């Protein structure tokens, strides 16, 4: 089985000029943990993850307070925190993204993708063709392929099973295709 057999095809991406606030919104709304960062030619130039955002947020000095009679008394001016937060969320993705990106091609064997993920301790690998993003494989995709491969009894997920049926069509709970 190859990367093309299990990769996600409609990959959400951001550009290097996106703000931390924009990325945080995408990650929260979509339930993602990271996104490829691409240039205007759809070439992968980085990855931005929850961890990158957390490192940035860790630098914020939260206002100190203490509880008093069912309320709180702030020991510092909350405007300072608001200003720090505003500056932190205005940071551009290009400033915090990981630029040493591991990529694979559509024809990379799944075993090699899994090995890369384990050895490099990464959760997602962009799939590229001629340097341009064509897909993404996450650890969940690998696990799903293993599961479907075992269920098919053929040792591979290709025996009539598609690891990601939603990539090409919408499948309803009743088994019929369509919205």
Is residue 176 a part of any domain in this protein?
no
DSSP-derived secondary structure for 79-90: HHHHHHHHHHHH
Is residue 110 a part of any domain in this protein?
yes
User: How do strand 71-74 and strand 104-105 relate by DSSP bridges?
Assistant: unpaired
Is residue 92 a part of any domain in this protein?
yes
Two tokens, residue 84: 């720090």
Is residue 83 a part of any domain in this protein?
yes
Residue 168: pLDDT band (50, 70, 90) is very low
Q: Which domain holds residue 127?
A: 3-150
Is residue 162 a part of any domain in this protein?
no
Query: For residue 99, which phi and psi values (nearest 5 degrees)?
Result: -100, -15
pTM of full prediction above 0.75: no
With CA atoms as reference, report the closest residue to 7 among 99, 107, 100.
Answer: 107
Is residue 158 a part of any domain in this protein?
no
Over 60: is that where the pLDDT of 171 sits?
no
**Structural domain count, the chain:** 1
What are the tens digits of pLDDT across the range 121-161?
999 999 999 999 999 999 999 999 988 875 554 444 444 44
Is residue 157 a part of any domain in this protein?
no
Is residue 125 a part of any domain in this protein?
yes
- Can you give the CATH number for the domain in which 61 is found? 3.10.580.10
């Amino acid at each position: 089985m190859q990367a093309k057999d299990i990769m996600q095809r409609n990959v959400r991406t951001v550009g290097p000029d996106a703000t931390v606030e924009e990325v945080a919104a995408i990650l929260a709304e979509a339930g993602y943990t990271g996104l490829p960062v691409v240039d205007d030619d759809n070439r992968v130039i980085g990855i931005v993850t929850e961890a990158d955002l957390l490192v940035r947020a860790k630098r914020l000095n939260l206002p100190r307070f203490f509880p008093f009679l069912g309320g709180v008394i702030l020991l510092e001016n909350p405007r300072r925190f608001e200003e720090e937060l505003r500056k932190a969320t205005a940071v551009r993705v290009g400033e915090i993204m990981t630029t040493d990106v591991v990529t694979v091609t559509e024809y990379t064997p799944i075993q090699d993708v899994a090995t890369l993920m384990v050895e490099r301790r990464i959760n997602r690998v962009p799939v590229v063709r001629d340097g341009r993003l064509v897909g993404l494989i996450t650890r969940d995709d690998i696990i799903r392929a293993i599961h479907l491969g075992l269920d098919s009894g053929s040792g591979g997920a290709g025996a009539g099973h598609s690891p990601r049926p939603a990539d090409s069509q919408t499948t309803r709970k009743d088994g019929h295709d369509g919205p």
